[in-house]
Amino acid sequence: MSRIVLEAQNVTKIYRTGEVETPAIVDVSLGIEHGEFSVLCGPSGSGKTTLLNQLGTLDRPTRGRIFVDGVDTTEMSEGDRSDLRLRKLGFVFQAYNLVPVLSAVENVEFVLLLQGVPAAERRLRSLELLEELGLGDLASKRPGQMSGGQQQRVAVARAIASNPELVLADEPTANLDSKTAGALLDLMSLMNEERGVTFLFSTHDPRVMRRARRIISLSDGQIESDERRDS
């Protein structure tokens, strides 16, 4: 039986400007199972990034509940939510979000450092992961010395270094050319198949959607369709 690693129950997010209320997502319920390679898609303004932020506990819903690995995050303090993200979730962003003064290996190590992993172990794990992702010769390079595709691969390494339950990726291919995006998607597909890493993307990139085994389409903040494909 498949295990649910992330669940939204009747999640609504409303933004308020003065007395004006703007609903971004409305009464969304879904579950993400361990090992899925899934996509949230929809046009600009459909609510996909807002929903990804709710699912990743980066923001609080106005109404509804978010469960991560069976734990209800709704009433958690900000500190507890931060700790849960550190232990359970990995993130890949469109803008890479690497620390510019740190080398590639130090960026990958960063989450392990926060988790309290001993220095020798975190360095070994990070170097092995960079080597696995074809970045071994860039371990000492800083982000400014790498191409966009290389930086995004380092970001993926950082996201999976701590063996999270789920990696949330917000438009990870948006700044990449077709060849580089394809290589990145090959990499993440391999991580999914060989390591069992669960991925959930927010994207409108057809290159990502072609790889997905589940496509959750949003329109006006609501789930319009939820389709699964054969592996």
At 189-222, the pLDDT tens digits run 988 998 888 999 999 888 899 999 999 999 999 9
Helix or strand or coil: residue 78? helix
What band does 44 get if pLDDT is binned at 50, 70 and 90?
Answer: confident
At 54-103, the pLDDT tens digits run 999 999 999 999 999 999 998 899 999 999 999 999 999 888 889 999 99
* Predicted local distance difference test score (pLDDT) of residue 1: 59
SS (H, E, C) 141-177: CCHHHCCHHHHHHHHHHHHHCCCCCEEEEECCCCCCC
- For domain 4-97+164-228, give the CATH number: 3.40.50.300
At 148-177, the pLDDT tens digits run 889 988 998 999 888 888 999 998 888 888
Domain locations along the chain: 4-97+164-228
pTM above 0.75, yes or no: yes
